[in-house]
Structure 1
């Protein structure tokens, strides 16, 4: 195997792949990036057996071949000199890969006088990729909606929950929605065009490739499939020429996503609204930020850290009482409020974290009872709903 490649192209061929490489695997082969040079193409692959990533870029190959390279070596790539180009467009300082022949195979990676010779690992040991059947192309508009949905819904995903199924995006193509929930909050996006079957891919893995998906132009091709294996496959072009082909495959999380998540939102929407608040997003952000400062201090001191939202004849206010820190804190909320006098305990940091998922300038909050979950709505996107569970009076955690 022998080829030369510019630093820019090599980083393009490995940065996405490295996200799937296992750093603490018991099998050494999973700590490597598989590279295959063939006529006109360089293909790189990485996997931890839960996520598989492959990318191919056009490249002139001197001698075809394949090899597995320890990801530690690839971490050195940013230290190589940046590419310089001649007038004819050829790179004057490429990075050269050459694999010796014979029984003692030795790989050399060099640029100028800099040279690395990582230990050879047999590419035949690299895991085979699962085959994702029945990919479906999606339009540029549907791609944008899917990206926005993932960006909003990740707020209700937590790596700290014990149930791994709650660490994923639960996708239901039959009912056209994606939902997430961590036990304290739930996010739902409806009305999506979703190819495939029901599945729950790991949210962190999906988010790791979201920039690649959102970076696709209207002329690029994106194919998607959800199910037991979730797959994203794309072909990128520039001036009519293919500049890269990549595929990301993610295993679905084991278990059944709790149906109570969707039912909780549906039940809340059917309940009688006790209080509805329409508030400027910036005003709500400011009020919650004030409360969060006190809440964080209370958490650090091991004290009660919730805030009280109350509507009285004087208006809507946030208040906190933390005897060890502050005798009294009242933060008025300039808003339009309709409904009965009402109060509810909530964690300000949790709601503040979810606030950026609303894109409209005004936010609508609906409350149904002091012990019932409340909803937050985006006035510009009626298909998006956020639910948060209130806090009990004896709860001192957030």
Structure 2
């Protein structure tokens, strides 16, 4: 095998597939990137058996072949090379990497030993813009659970019905929902995608509003295809939570507030919270204003914000970081918050229900 690349093209391909190289494994072959130039294209692939990424790299095939290279070493070598032409030549599992005056010789592994991506049927799919998918992930991914006590909570629900895609994440304290209108109608589908997969996709997805992502479904896998890249992931098995039963349209108090005003105030308040502290921010909602207050061992803070209120006065407390996470991903200038009482979840949502954020309140003691 003998291949020629521009360094920038090769490094970009390595950076994309490296997201699927495991940090720890008992199988050394999984620590490698496969270079496959057996046909008319050069493809790089990494696969940790849960997540696999394949991308095509622009370059010249001088001699066909395939080889596996240790991903970490390969990445570090290419990164340190001059911005020039890179030649990769393989013979008897010995790999030469040449660039200007630099000449590396390293060991490789047989390409036939690499675990290829399983094939996925292409009859069940949806299509949406790169920008829409990237934004949808950004606006929901913060609500997944980080531990694996309940594996379903570490993923996101993708539910398709007609021309609607609903994406849901939850961690037991909050729920994030994005409803996306698709260009076409599709048959009903419901799968749970690992959060790790979506995080890596959001990192490598360019996010172009004029380019599409095709998402294909099989019984056990989901495949994302965009530009010259394919990302294949196992799905999380199990029946997802009955979200519709958790979402209510009832409210006793409804407030409309400038998003920047409330977000800035809450972000100021968390300056008084140490990493290990769990201090709530208290909302005292009255006719035309809402007082935000927070007390901690460091100090205290109070701030009044103008609001438009409908319904009853209410005193309610929340984990401030949960509010910040939701508010940061909402693009609207004004937001509407719905509350029932100090023990029931609040909802932040727009009139079209394009986004819904449910946050559970917390108990607190306060003297009035």
User: TM-score, normalised on structure 2?
Assistant: 0.89
Q: Which residue of 2 aligns with 1:285?
A: 263
Q: Which residue of 2 aligns with 1:179?
A: 168
Q: Which residue of 1 aligns with 2:115?
A: 127
- SS of the residue 1:382 aligns to: coil
Paired residues of 1:372 and 1:389 also in contact (CA < 8 A):
yes
- Whole-angstrom distance in 1 between the partners of 2:96 and 2:347: 59
Say which structure is richer in strand: 2
Deviations 1:187-207 (A, max 9, x none): 112244386732111123222
Query: What does residue range 241-252 of structure 1 map to in structure 2 within 5 Å?
Result: 245-252=228-235
Q: Which residue of 2 aligns with 1:225?
A: 216
Residue 135 (structure 2) pairs with residue 148 (structure 1): yes
CA RMSD of aligned residues (A): 2.4
Paired residues of 2:95 and 2:107 also in contact (CA < 8 A):
yes
- Whole-angstrom distance in 2 between the partners of 1:374 and 1:71: 46
Matched residues, number: 358
- Report the alpha carbon displacement of residue 330 of structure 1 after superposing the two structures with TM: 2.4
- SS of the residue 1:24 aligns to: coil
- Report the alpha carbon displacement of residue 253 of structure 1 after superposing the two structures with TM: 1.8
Q: Which residue of 1 aligns with 2:192?
A: 200
- SS of the residue 2:140 aligns to: helix
Query: What does residue range 1-398 of structure 1 map to in structure 2 within 5 Å?
Result: 1-76=1-76, 77-83=78-84, 94-101=85-92, 105-134=93-122, 142-160=129-147, 162-174=149-161, 176-193=165-182, 197-216=189-208, 218=210, 222-227=213-218, 228-234=220-226, 236=227, 245-259=228-242, 261-265=243-247, 268-269=248-249, 271=250, 273-294=251-272, 296-297=273-274, 300=276, 302=277, 305-312=279-286, 315-322=289-296, 324-326=297-299, 329-378=301-350, 382-393=353-364
- SS of the residue 1:359 aligns to: coil
Paired residues of 1:200 and 1:253 also in contact (CA < 8 A):
yes
- Whole-angstrom distance in 2 between the partners of 1:330 and 1:345: 14
Paired residues of 2:263 and 2:328 also in contact (CA < 8 A):
no
- Report the alpha carbon displacement of residue 171 of structure 1 after superposing the two structures with TM: 0.9
Paired residues of 2:159 and 2:167 also in contact (CA < 8 A):
yes
Structure 1's 2 and 274: CA in aligned 2 closer, same or farther, altered over 3 A? same
- Whole-angstrom distance in 2 between the partners of 1:62 and 1:147: 37
Paired residues of 1:40 and 1:60 also in contact (CA < 8 A):
no
Paired residues of 1:32 and 1:70 also in contact (CA < 8 A):
yes
Structure 1's unaligned 5+ residue stretches are 84-93, 237-244
Structure 1's 161 and 351: CA in aligned 2 closer, same or farther, altered over 3 A? farther
Paired residues of 2:127 and 2:214 also in contact (CA < 8 A):
no
User: TM-score, normalised on structure 1?
Assistant: 0.82
- Whole-angstrom distance in 2 between the partners of 1:60 and 1:22: 29
Structure 2's unaligned 5+ residue stretches are none
